[in-house]
Amino acid sequence: MADYITERIKCPFFKSCKLNSIVCEGVQDNSTLHLSFSGRGDMMRYINSHCVKHKSACMVAALLYSKYEK
Protein backbone atom coordinates (compact mmCIF):
# COMPACT_ATOMS: atom_id res chain seq x y z
CA MET A 1 0.00 0.00 0.00
CA ALA A 2 1.21 3.48 -0.73
CA ASP A 3 2.95 5.21 2.14
CA TYR A 4 0.68 8.25 1.82
CA ILE A 5 -2.24 6.09 2.99
CA THR A 6 -0.45 4.43 5.90
CA GLU A 7 0.85 7.83 7.06
CA ARG A 8 -2.78 8.99 7.44
CA ILE A 9 -3.79 6.06 9.65
CA LYS A 10 -4.34 7.11 13.25
CA CYS A 11 -5.64 3.88 14.74
CA PRO A 12 -3.08 2.63 17.28
CA PHE A 13 -4.03 -0.99 16.56
CA PHE A 14 -3.33 -0.91 12.81
CA LYS A 15 -0.31 -3.04 11.86
CA SER A 16 -0.28 -3.29 8.07
CA CYS A 17 -2.30 -4.00 4.96
CA LYS A 18 -1.80 -5.57 1.55
CA LEU A 19 -3.93 -6.71 -1.32
CA ASN A 20 -7.43 -6.96 0.18
CA SER A 21 -6.70 -7.31 3.89
CA ILE A 22 -5.86 -5.24 6.95
CA VAL A 23 -3.79 -6.57 9.85
CA CYS A 24 -4.54 -5.21 13.31
CA GLU A 25 -3.32 -6.01 16.80
CA GLY A 26 -4.97 -9.18 18.11
CA VAL A 27 -7.09 -9.70 21.17
CA GLN A 28 -4.50 -11.98 22.77
CA ASP A 29 -0.89 -11.05 23.46
CA ASN A 30 1.41 -11.76 20.53
CA SER A 31 -1.48 -12.21 18.08
CA THR A 32 -2.88 -10.35 15.09
CA LEU A 33 -6.32 -9.99 13.59
CA HIS A 34 -6.84 -10.06 9.81
CA LEU A 35 -9.77 -8.31 8.16
CA SER A 36 -10.29 -9.60 4.62
CA PHE A 37 -12.36 -7.73 2.03
CA SER A 38 -13.87 -8.82 -1.27
CA GLY A 39 -11.87 -6.19 -3.13
CA ARG A 40 -9.29 -3.45 -2.70
CA GLY A 41 -11.97 -0.77 -3.05
CA ASP A 42 -13.88 -2.20 -0.08
CA MET A 43 -10.69 -2.26 1.96
CA MET A 44 -9.87 1.34 1.07
CA ARG A 45 -13.38 2.50 2.00
CA TYR A 46 -12.98 0.79 5.38
CA ILE A 47 -9.55 2.36 5.94
CA ASN A 48 -10.85 5.82 5.03
CA SER A 49 -13.92 5.55 7.24
CA HIS A 50 -12.31 3.82 10.22
CA CYS A 51 -8.51 3.58 10.34
CA VAL A 52 -7.70 7.20 9.54
CA LYS A 53 -9.81 8.36 12.48
CA HIS A 54 -8.41 7.96 15.99
CA LYS A 55 -11.73 7.25 17.68
CA SER A 56 -13.90 5.67 15.02
CA ALA A 57 -16.88 3.35 14.88
CA CYS A 58 -14.58 0.39 14.22
CA MET A 59 -15.74 -2.60 16.25
CA VAL A 60 -12.23 -4.06 16.26
CA ALA A 61 -10.80 -0.88 17.79
CA ALA A 62 -13.60 -0.78 20.38
CA LEU A 63 -12.79 -4.34 21.39
CA LEU A 64 -9.09 -3.62 21.62
CA TYR A 65 -9.60 -0.41 23.64
CA SER A 66 -11.58 -2.47 26.15
CA LYS A 67 -8.60 -4.84 26.39
CA TYR A 68 -6.53 -2.01 27.88
CA GLU A 69 -9.21 -0.46 30.09
CA LYS A 70 -9.03 -3.32 32.58
Q: Where are the domains of the chain?
A: 3-69
pLDDT confidence bin for 5, thresholds 50/70/90: confident
How far CA 31 is from CA of 4, 11, 26, 27, 62, in Å, comes to 26, 17, 5, 7, 17
pLDDT on residue 45? 93
Kindly report whether the global pTM for this prediction surpasses the value 0.85.
no
| 35 close to 22: Cβ distance less than 8 angstroms | yes
Q: Write the pLDDT tens digit of every residue in 16-44.
A: 998 899 999 999 989 999 999 999 999 99
22 strand-pairing partners? 17, 35
Quick one: pLDDT at residue 47?
93
